[in-house]
Amino acid sequence: MENKTPLKVVPVAPENSRKEVIIVTGSSGMIGSKLINKMAAQYKLAGFDLAGFPYPPAEAECVCVDLTSDESVEFAFKRIRYEYGNRIASVVHLAAYYDFLGEPSDLYDKITVKGTERLLKSLQDFEVEQFIFSSSMLVYKPSSPGVKITEETPLEPKWDYPKSKVTTEKLIHEQRGEIPTVIMRIAGVYSEEGNSIPITNQIQRIYEKQISASLYPANVNHGSTYVHLEDLISAIALSIEKRKDLPSEVVINIGDDETLTYKELQDIISTEIHGKKSKIIHIPKWFAKAGAFMQNLFGKAFIKPWMIDLANDHFEMDSSKAKKLLGWQPKHGLRDTLPIMIKKLKDDPEKFYRVNKLE
């Protein structure tokens, strides 16, 4: 009779346990949730966010954390070490404070600056292959039509939101230790749903035929670069994928190839909504400020008096560095996306207003 030696069964680790780990802060937000959905098949994901609704997508573990608290951040990283070990492929830091009120707030320092400092302090005890920080195009000194903003363009933030980004960029440089970092200076984000406060408010003014839609206190041939949400997600994903090939510290612009002027935006939106271009009347800044003040005095308007001083700023970004280092190429453009966006408005105005939090 043949003797058979029993086979030794060797446990095989589940597929998920062999995946590398990514932490996403601000994981329930528009960018964070979209990134998690894209990366879930390839990586294990932990979403850092405040306790309670909204939650990050189910593909990521929700790790409740308050970036203004030392104890909360320390506890969150204890959870990371317990569940995932000491090695982190990438930390994508999207959480930050912003508003359009234009008023000073200590939350810029508490959340954006000090919150980043707490993250970096805790991360020094881990093996971290990459730290991605979402900065803003608004940190730059404005340019002029035809003059593209590169990563070497001087910085000149004009209000608290971009100022907090500049301060945080400097902090990351000083306190990153041995952690490789990517600073992404991102243009205004949009999608087919809208998802851009300046654009959707301009659409609303034109759709409702508000008087303010025809008035403008600046050069209508100036504008700002935007970037489609899917293209931004692609840039972040490529940064993670190519993390071992990138410099230990790198700044990258992320924006569309084309920068539409205010007049081009107005013409496209008006034509798509009303079938014709709408006239733009130039008004003095003092008059625009007075109008904005009165609108906000007797109601809640998007345009605030402080915005009038920035209306003439022109931001035309050069993203060729991202194309070279990441192999990134934007696949969308605002010119082609606006008609889709406005069709969604016309098909279901109530939903469009709700999605974009329009009054």
Q: Give the pLDDT mean for 150-163.
A: 96
Most confident of 58-62, 167-171, 287-291: 167-171
Check pLDDT > 70 for residue 266.
yes
User: How high does pLDDT run on average in the chain?
Assistant: 91
Residue type at position 114? K
pLDDT at 249 (0 to 100)? 98
pLDDT at 298: 61
Whole-model pTM over 0.95: no
Hey, what long-range contacts does 272-280 have (CB within 8 A, 24 or more apart)? Answer: 272/338, 272/339, 272/342, 272/343, 273/203, 273/206, 273/207, 273/342, 273/345, 273/346, 274/206, 278/206, 278/213, 278/214, 279/214, 280/214, 280/215, 280/216, 280/220
The pLDDT, as a whole number, for residue 157 is 96
15 pLDDT higher than 80: no
Question: How big is the CA angle at 145 (ends 143 and 146), to the nearest 5 degrees?
Answer: 100
Structure confidence at residue 17 (pLDDT): 56
In this prediction, residue 99 has a pLDDT band, given cuts at 50, 70 and 90, of confident
Q: Are strands 249-254 and 43-49 parallel, antiparallel or unpaired?
A: unpaired
- Whose tokens are 């209000």? That residue is 159
The single-letter DSSP state of residue 176 is -
Quote the pLDDT of residue 81: 96
Judging by beta carbons within 10 Å of its beta carbon (0-12, 13-18, 19+), is residue 102 exposed, middle or buried?
Answer: middle
Helix-strand-coil percent breakdown of the chain, rounded to 5?
A: 45, 20, 40
Averaged over 18-47, what is the pLDDT?
96
Mean pLDDT of 288-297: 68
Task: Give the pLDDT score at 221.
Answer: 96
The arithmetic mean of pLDDT across residues 89-108, rounded, is 89
pLDDT tens digits along 220-236: 999 999 999 999 999 99
Could you tell me the domains of the chain?
17-192+228-257+317-331 (3.40.50.720)
Share of the chain above pLDDT 70, in %: 91
Secondary structure (H, E, C), 54-104? CCCCCCCEEEECCCCCHHHHHHHHHHHHHHHCCEECEEEECCCCCCCCCCC
- φ, ψ of residue 227 in degrees (nearest 5): -145, 135
Which pair of tokens denotes residue 187? 């243009």
Residue 132 has pLDDT above 50, yes or no: yes
319 Cβ contact partners less than 8 Å away, ≥ 6 residues apart: 252, 253, 254, 255, 256, 257, 328, 330
By the 8 A CB rule, do 198 and 146 touch? no
Distance CA 124, CA 252 (A): 24
Indicate the range of 77-91, 151-165, 291-305, 325-339 predicted with least confidence. 291-305
Tell me if 127 sits within 8 A of 87, measured CB to CB: yes
Residue 12 has pLDDT above 60, yes or no: no
pLDDT of residue 304: 74
Radius of gyration of the chain (CA): 23
Q: What is the pLDDT of residues 47-96, one digit of tens each?
A: 999 988 888 999 999 999 999 999 999 999 999 999 999 999 999 999 99
One-letter amino acid for residue 21 of the chain: V
Check pLDDT > 50 for residue 4.
Answer: no
- pLDDT for residue 285: 79
Least confident residue range of 5-19, 60-74, 127-141, 282-296? 5-19
Q: How many CB atoms lie within 10 A of CB 140?
A: 22
Place of tokens 């931004």: 232
Q: What angle do the packed helices 114-123 and 160-175 form, to 10 degrees?
A: 20
* pLDDT level of residue 283 (50, 70, 90 thresholds): confident
Q: For residue 186, give both structure tokens.
A: 């991102």
